[in-house]
Chain A
Amino acid sequence: DIVMTQSPDSLAVSLGERATINCKSSQSVLYTSNNKNYLAWYQQKPGQPPKLLIYWASTRESGVPDRFSGSGSGTDFTLTISNLQAEDVAVYYCQQYYSSPPRTFGQGTKLEIK
């Protein structure tokens, strides 16, 4: 099974600043046949279910503010939140969908306001 490891486990960032969350997979999730990275990011606010933010490593889901961006390829990925807002406080998860199930998530990164 592909293991997803996020870093850091938690971080505190000032309002208006940039937050960076990393995700590393134990094997590449890049399909060379279509040049797509099979990686998604989710946001989970307290007391709420997860919400899809980004898929194919860098494509924002409809309605997601453009201050959220995803980057990376192969085994190393980054979720960047620019101009941090108070409503961005949440736990963020990466998830691979490269291989046959099981689907695996990272352990989560808790984002707080400094």
Chain B
Amino acid sequence: QVQLVESGGGVVQPGGSLRLSCEASGFTFSHYGMHWVRQAPGKGLEWVALVAYEGSNKYYVDSVKGRFTISRDNSRNMLYLQMNSLRAEDTAVYYCAKDWAELLFNYYYMDVWGKGTTVTVSS
């Protein structure tokens, strides 16, 4: 079945770095754009980043530009989020999600979500 499994979360000090991973299975990973979405404790959903199906185009929410980098390895069915210069406000559950559109450079809604990995930024 279609599945996304995130890993790599943890506790990190302000200014530190962390790399999140998302392993995909059950679908042709290399055909779909992939998103990261986060949810701070008790708050709503915030879209963070998107990478095109072949890895060329990348988009970020303004608050993480220059600090976070989204990437993918289609040979390993893996999605990544490198997070540098972490701040307290980055504390959240981070979800990876699959875009609906196949082999397109247009991006739509998220039809499959992982269970999330928790990132806590605290001294």
- Give A residues with C-beta under 8 Å from B: 38, 40, 42, 44, 48-52, 55, 61, 91, 93, 95, 97, 100-108
Contact = CB atoms under 8 A, between A and B. Distances in A.
A92 B116 CA distance: 18
Nearest to A47: B115
B47 A101 contact: yes
Interface stretch (B22-30, B76-84, B106-114): B106-114
Interface in B67-123: 95, 100, 107-111, 113-116
B107 A49 contact: no
For chain B, the bracket of interface size reads 20 to 34
A108 B50 CA distance: 21
A34 B109 CA distance: 17
Given A49-B113, A101-B107, A55 B100 contact: yes
B61 interface: yes
- Chain B contact residues: over half helix, strand or loop, or mixed? strand
Nearest to B101: A97
15 contacts: A38-B108, A40-B109, A40-B110, A49-B116, A50-B110, A55-B100, A91-B44, A93-B44, A95-B109, A97-B107, A104-B47, A105-B45, A105-B46, A105-B47, A106-B44
Contacts of B109: 40, 52, 55, 95, 97
Nearest to B58: A101
Nearest to A38: B108
Given A100-B59, A101-B50, A102-B61, A52 B44 contact: no
Given A49-B114, A52-B113, 14 more contacts: A38-B108, A40-B109, A40-B110, A48-B115, A50-B113, A55-B108, A93-B45, A95-B110, A97-B109, A100-B59, A103-B47, A103-B107, A107-B44, A108-B45
A67 B42 CA distance: 28
Contact of B110 (A52, A91, A104): A52
